[in-house]
């Protein structure tokens, strides 16, 4: 496989606002054509990273390399990136067409070329026929499309998206997520997105970096980040997880994890467990059974349903074990009839495969 | 009343003639009216030139400094107009603060020249000649600017505050420099505030009479002074009314222009016109 080119490289980036460290020693490498997402709770500094890359904020220290060029001290209007803002930031006094043309005109591109590109982009974002409207005459989703068009019409190699979908309602958001992915694949651009929405991050990114308190905790592909996270924070932030605490020991060349809640768990794996490591199991990997499961590799437990939340397609169930540990289980509502069995107070068994256990560093 | 005629010291003949209006558009009054318009335009332009940078500075300051600056802009408005105008007289008159300062500067300069035995060459004049800053068009325009500039700063500041800072960043991100951001993005977005400011200064300027009365000379009379004189010393109320009406008509025309302008803009900012 040919090694992909690096689009953006951040080296030991730091940024403080007064007493708050927004970006703390961040180093990142984003490859060409990646759909890279920084995921983190609000206020963790993820937007600041984007603003540093765009040049809208000056870093205290560190290097920003864009397309093999050191852009650390290049002004915002000369960086080869374009940004889509959370508030869209369209120019209210200009029509959709003028908004989209704004960047092209500044680049001194010929009138014919501008016309062709604007038509292309209007088609791409499905806004043909809206070119003479003003932003105030458009709906939220349409404004979002214009904001995206205004950025990508300049054909930057890198597009920065600062929570672009957070103002849209759920259905529209899903639709726009899909469109973003399609546009990114068609145009072969590097997209860098910042969001606090886990589902959005999982569904559209090729790579996810999880951020907390100004630091990048972990970077991985989207599926690996969910299935094989290595840090407790990233496992808990990206989806729900049951954490099992305990002490590990090696017996017969195999790791046995001794937990207060689940007893002895034979991991059937010969890997080194990190010091003060914990185990995690995703709620959907646990199944509900009527009797104890004695199959090899399965950990079975007995408990009482204490909470049941109904989501239509899924049920989120909490069962309480004898030792008062709470276990979260997600069940697909496959049959209508089976819903009656999920009464609160019902005693049942739940089990999971040890191979689905995730080993996490605290 | 403006259609009547004065027949006696206190009697007015309501003859419904247009004689007063004919007299009003006659030479000397028309010249004064024209001059008032010119002075008002110059004042408004100067106010804008001062107000836009000041409003920008306030708007982009930190919250703490912002409130201090805003209060210092508004504080003079708590003082009576007359007192503020008189204070200008104290500054501008022949023996006022400006001339006193200049004179002491001249004297120190002269001492220095004396020290180098150069005073006899009269490089800076034989003696200090005070600048005549009072009783001319300069002092009237300066006075009007001083009084009315807050009325331009405030509306421009208010619309500047409403501008989405992300929008400015978006413009830089798309490759714009400061000049393009200012003229292509900021100015169109604060034009509502600018027009409000212009109206708020131009109309009162046109009708002002205290400031030209106190600061102006024989040469810098404005239409307000003539109207005032018709009602007082000339005791020609019908003619004064006619002149006042002409002033009102001009004001209405200006407001009409603004209305049309704001109608055009309401397409841009629905429900955002003050």
Angstroms from B267 CA to nearest CA on chain A: 8
How does pLDDT run across B176-224, given as a tens digit for each residue? 999 999 988 998 889 888 988 998 999 899 888 888 888 887 777 888 8
Closest chain B residue by Cα to residue A87: B166
Alpha-carbon distance of B202 to B102, in angstroms, equals: 33
- Taking contacts as CB-CB distances below 8 angstroms, the residues of chain B near A150 are 170, 174
Where do you find CATH 2.40.50.100 in chain A? 242-360
Query: Which whole number is the average pLDDT over A269-281?
Result: 76
Angstroms from A147 CA to nearest CA on chain B: 10
Domains of chain B (ranges, CATH numbers): 5-62+135-266 (1.10.3720.10)
A150 vs B175: CB contact, 8 Å cut-off? no
A 264-293 → B contacts, CB under 8 A: none
Query: Which whole number is the average pLDDT over A146-165?
Result: 91
Contact A216, A28 (CB under 8 A): yes
Q: Identify which of A166, A154, A142, A222 has the alpha carbon closest to the alpha carbon of residue A47.
A: A166
* Cβ atoms within 10 Å of A126's Cβ, excluding its own: 13
CATH assignment, A6-230: 3.40.50.300
> Which residues in chain B show pLDDT less than 50?
271-274
Closest chain A residue by Cα to residue B176: A77
Where do you find CATH 3.40.50.300 in chain A? 6-230
Closest chain A residue by Cα to residue B180: A106
Whether A159 has a pLDDT exceeding 70, the answer reads yes
Alpha-carbon distance of A135 to A41, in angstroms, equals: 30
> Between these two residues, B184 and A342, which has the higher pLDDT value?
B184
Q: Identify which of B51, B66, B62, B6 has the alpha carbon closest to the alpha carbon of residue B242.
A: B6
Angstroms from B35 CA to nearest CA on chain A: 36
Q: Which of B62, B163, B170 to mutate to test the interface with A (most CBs of A within 10 A)?
A: B170
Q: Identify which of A234, A311, A255, A316 has the alpha carbon closest to the alpha carbon of residue A283.
A: A316
Find the range with the poorest average confidence among A17-21, A162-166, B1-5. B1-5
Q: Give the CATH class of A242-360.
A: mainly beta
Angstroms from A176 CA to nearest CA on chain B: 21
- The pLDDT assigned to B274 comes to 34
Question: How large is the ipTM?
Answer: 0.80
Facing residue for A91 by CB, picked from B185, B269, B270? B185
- Touching check for B164 and chain A: CB below 8 Å? yes
Contact A59, A52 (CB under 8 A): yes
Query: If you search the block for the tokens 């409003």, which residue do you land on?
Result: B55
- From residue B22, give the alpha-carbon distance in Å to each of A133, B224, B243: 51, 19, 11
- Touching check for A338 and chain B: CB below 8 Å? no
Alpha-carbon distance of A357 to B247, in angstroms, equals: 87
Contact A30, A8 (CB under 8 A): yes
SS3 labels along B224-243: HHHHHHHHCCCCCHHHHHHH
Phi, psi of A350 (to 5 degrees): -135, 145
- The pLDDT assigned to A270 comes to 61
Angstroms from A191 CA to nearest CA on chain B: 16
- The pLDDT assigned to A269 comes to 67
How does pLDDT run across A91-110, given as a tens digit for each residue? 998 999 999 999 999 988 88
3 state SS of A25: strand
B175 vs A92: CB contact, 8 Å cut-off? no
DSSP structural state of residue A168: S
Look up the pTM and report it: 0.79
Q: What angle do CA A87, A93, A97 make, to 5 degrees?
A: 85
CA-based R_g, chain B, Å: 24
* Cβ atoms within 10 Å of B246's Cβ, excluding its own: 20
3 state SS of A318: strand
Residue pairs between chains A and B whose CB atoms are closer than 8 Å: 67
Whether A83 has a pLDDT exceeding 70, the answer reads yes
């Amino acid at each position: 496989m040919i090694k992909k080119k690096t689009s953006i490289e951040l080296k030991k980036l730091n940024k403080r606002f007064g007493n708050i460290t927004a970006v703390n020693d961040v180093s990142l490498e984003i490859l060409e054509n990646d759909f890279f997402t920084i995921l983190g709770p609000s206020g963790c500094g993820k937007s600041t990273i984007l603003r540093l890359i765009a040049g809208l904020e000056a870093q205290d220290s560190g290097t920003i390399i864009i397309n093999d060029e050191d852009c650390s001290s290049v002004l915002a209007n000369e960086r080869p990136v374009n940004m889509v803002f959370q508030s869209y930031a369209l120019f209210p006094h200009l029509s959709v067409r003028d908004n989209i043309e704004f960047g092209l005109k500044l680049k001194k591109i010929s009138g014919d070329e501008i016309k062709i590109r604007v038509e292309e982009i209007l088609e791409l974002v499905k806004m043909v026929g809206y070119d003479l409207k003003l932003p105030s005459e458009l709906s939220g989703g349409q404004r979002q499309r214009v904001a995206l068009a205004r950025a990508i019409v300049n054909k930057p190699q890198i597009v920065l998206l600062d929570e672009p979908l957070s103002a849209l309602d759920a259905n529209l958001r899903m639709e726009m997520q899909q469109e973003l992915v399609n546009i990114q694949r068609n145009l072969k651009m590097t997209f860098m997105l910042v969001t606090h929405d886990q589902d959005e991050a999982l569904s559209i990114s090729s790579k996810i970096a999880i951020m907390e308190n100004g630091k990048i905790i972990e970077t991985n592909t989207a599926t690996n980040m969910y299935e094989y996270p290595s840090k407790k924070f990233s496992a808990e932030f990206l989806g729900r997880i049951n954490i099992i605490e305990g002490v590990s020991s090696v017996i017969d060349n195999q790791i046995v994890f001794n937990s207060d809640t689940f007893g002895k768990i034979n991991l059937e794996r010969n890997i080194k467990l990190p010091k003060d490591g914990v185990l995690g199991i995703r709620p959907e990997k646990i199944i509900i059974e009527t009797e104890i499961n004695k199959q090899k590799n399965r950990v079975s437990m007995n408990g009482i349903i204490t909470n049941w939340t109904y989501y239509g397609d899924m049920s989120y169930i909490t069962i309480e074990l004898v030792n008062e540990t709470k276990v979260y289980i997600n069940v697909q509502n496959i049959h209508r009839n089976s819903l009656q069995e999920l009464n609160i107070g019902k005693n049942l068994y739940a089990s999971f495969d040890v191979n689905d256990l995730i080993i996490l560093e605290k | 009343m403006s259609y009547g005629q004065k027949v006696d010291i206190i009697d007015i003949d309501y003859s419904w003639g247009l004689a007063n209006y004919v007299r009003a558009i006659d030479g000397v009054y028309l010249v004064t009216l024209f001059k008032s318009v010119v002075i008002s335009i110059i004042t408004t332009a100067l106010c804008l030139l001062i107000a836009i940078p000041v409003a920008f500075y306030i708007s982009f300051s930190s919250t703490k400094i912002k409130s201090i600056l805003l209060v210092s802009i508004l504080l003079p408005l708590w003082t009576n107009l007359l007192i503020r105008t008189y204070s200008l007289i104290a500054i501008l008159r022949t023996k006022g603060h400006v001339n006193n300062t200049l004179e002491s500067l001249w004297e120190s300069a002269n001492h220095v020249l004396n020290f180098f035995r150069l005073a006899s060459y009269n490089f800076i004049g034989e003696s200090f000649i005070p600048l005549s800053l009072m009783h001319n068009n300069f002092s009237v325009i300066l006075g009007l600017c001083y009084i009315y500039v807050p009325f331009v700063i405030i509306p421009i500041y208010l619309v500047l505050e409403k501008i989405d800072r992300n929008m400015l960043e978006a413009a830089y991100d798309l490759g714009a420099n400061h000049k393009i951001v200012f003229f292509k993005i900021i100015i169109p977005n604060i034009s509502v505030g600018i027009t409000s400011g212009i109206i708020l200064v131009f109309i009162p300027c046109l009708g002002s009479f205290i400031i030209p009365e106190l600061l102006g000379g024989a040469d810098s009379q404005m239409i307000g002074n003539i109207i005032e004189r018709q009602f007082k010393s000339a005791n020609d109320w019908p003619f004064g009314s006619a002149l006042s009406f002409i002033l009102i008509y001009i004001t209405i025309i200006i407001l009409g222009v603004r209305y049309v302008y704001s109608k055009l803009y309401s397409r841009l900012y629905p429900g955002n016109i003050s």
